[in-house]
């Protein structure tokens, strides 16, 4: 069964600090892995998309890594800001229209 | 640029009532999707469409219907609302499979 597991479920960090969110998946075959940011009461917004051959991809203060061998991905947030408070969702696309969503990590950045 | 627009934002239905959730996109995307998001759960695909006139079931299609008469619109129909359909519904679109999906702001539906 295709699964995407994220950890931690929730995280509180001080403004300005860095943090790393984890994503482990068992989706097969693998097409791509995406990280989305979902603000409370809003739809998810794409941060990065990574294919099998990509190890690292950055989008501003967000850096995603992918290890296709161990089926793990991480999202690193540098110098966190209050606006980073949101849920971060890992999404893995497999075969045709087979997309599996993780349950997300809820991040709260406090002053 | 409006992107993906969903209406209504909130709705309360009584058991057995029906309603249509509207979704429209102005990006000329071929692919459109309907998801539901239950508390503490990942998004689940209800239905999707790869182009006007073509729709297919996703992971959790029971109790829902869709149509795709135009590229822009992809309404989701609930015929006999049940409490199990209480959820937040998201419509999304993408230019192609595997590319970035753009999401609407969601419709929070409560069935009582």
- Residues from chain B that touch A97, judged by Cβ atoms under 8 A, are 45, 48, 56, 58, 97
Distance from CA of A89 to the nearest CA of B (A): 8
HSE toward the beta carbon, residue B109, CA cutoff 13 A: 32
- Residues from chain A that touch B105, judged by Cβ atoms under 8 A, are 41-43
Q: How far apart are CA A48 and CA A65, in angstroms?
A: 10
pLDDT digits (tens, 9 = 90+) for A6-55: 999 999 999 999 999 999 999 888 889 999 999 998 999 999 999 988 99
Write out the two tokens for A16. 């300005």
Which residue shows structure tokens 């309404």? B75
**Phi, psi at A29, each rounded to 5°:** -70, 165
Nearest C-alpha in B relative to A6: B42
pLDDT digits (tens, 9 = 90+) for B26-58: 999 999 999 999 988 889 999 999 999 999 999
Q: Which of A41-45, A106-110, B16-20, B80-84 has the least mean pLDDT?
A: A41-45
Which residue shows structure tokens 């590319």? B99
DSSP A25-59: E--SS--EEEEEEE-TTS--EEEEEEETT-SEEEE
Which of B101, B104, B108 to mutate: most A Cβ within 10 Å?
B101
């Amino acid at each position: 069964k295709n699964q995407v597991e994220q950890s931690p479920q929730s995280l509180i960090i001080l403004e300005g600090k860095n943090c790393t969110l984890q994503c482990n998946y068992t989706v097969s075959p693998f097409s791509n892995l995406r990280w989305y940011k979902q603000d409370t009461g809003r739809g998810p917004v794409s941060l990065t998309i990574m294919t099998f051959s990509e190890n690292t991809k950055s989008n501003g203060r967000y850096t995603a890594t992918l290890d296709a061998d161990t089926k793990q991905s991480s999202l690193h947030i540098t110098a966190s800001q209050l606006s980073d408070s949101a849920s971060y969702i890992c999404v893995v696309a497999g075969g045709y229209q087979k997309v599996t969503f993780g349950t997300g990590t809820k991040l709260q950045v406090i002053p | 640029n409006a992107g993906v627009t969903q209406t209504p934002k909130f709705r309360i239905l009584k058991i057995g009532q029906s309603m249509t959730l509207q979704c429209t996109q102005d990006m000329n995307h071929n692919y459109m999707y309907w998801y539901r998001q239950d508390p503490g759960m990942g998004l689940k695909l209800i239905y999707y469409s790869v182009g006007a006139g073509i729709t297919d079931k996703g992971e959790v299609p029971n109790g829902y219907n869709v149509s795709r008469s135009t590229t822009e619109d992809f309404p989701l129909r609930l015929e006999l609302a049940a409490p199990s359909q209480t959820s937040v519904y998201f419509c999304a679109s993408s230019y192609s499979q595997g590319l970035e999906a753009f999401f609407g702001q969601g419709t929070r539906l409560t069935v009582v």
